[in-house]
Structure 1
Amino acid sequence: MLEALVEARLALRTGDVPVGAIVVTESGERLAGGRNERELHTDPTAHAEIVALRTAARARGTWQLQGTTLIVTLEPCVMCAGAILAARVDTVVFGAWDEKAGAAGSVYDVLRDRRLNHRVEVFAGVRADECGQLLTDFFRES
Structure 2
Amino acid sequence: MTTDHETFMRVALEEAEKAKVEGNSAVGSVIVRDGEIIGRGRNLVYTDNDITAHAETVALRVTGDELKLIDFHGCALYTTFEPCPMCCGAILLSGVSTLVMGARNDPKSTSWQDYRVEDLIAQFGRAGEIEIVNGILVEECHAVRE
Q: TM-score range by the shorter chain?
A: 0.7 to 0.9
Q: Could you say what the CA RMSD is over the residues aligned between the two structures, in angstroms?
A: 1.8
Corresponding residue for 1:60?
67
For residues 45 and 8 of structure 1, the distance between their equivalents in structure 2, rounded to whole angstroms, comes to 16
SS at match of 1:76: coil
Report if the CA contact (8 A) 1:36-1:48 is conserved: yes
Q: Secondary structure at the match of 1:15?
A: coil
The match for 2:121 is: 111
1:53-132 mapped onto 2 (5 Å cutoff): 53-98=60-105, 99=107, 100=110, 101=112, 102-105=115-118, 109-113=119-123, 115-116=125-126, 119-132=129-142
Which of 22, 26, 51 is equivalent to 1:18? Answer: 26
Q: Which moved more, 1:71-80 or 1:49-58?
A: 49-58
> Which residue of the other structure, out of 29, 35, 47, is the alignment partner of 2:36?
29
Work out whether residues 121 and 127 of structure 2, in 8 Å CA contact, stay in contact via their aligned partners in 1: no
- Structure 2 counterpart of 1:40, from 39, 47, 51: 47
Structure 1 unaligned blocks of 5 or more: 138-142
Unaligned runs of 5+ in 2: 1-8
**Distance in 2 separating the partners of 1:118 and 1:41:** 35
Worse overlay, 7-16 or 112-121: 112-121
Aligned residue identity for 1:115: G
How many residues are aligned here?
A: 132
SS for the counterpart of 1:22 is strand
Query: Normalising by the residue count of structure 1, what TM-score does the alignment of the two structures yield?
Result: 0.85
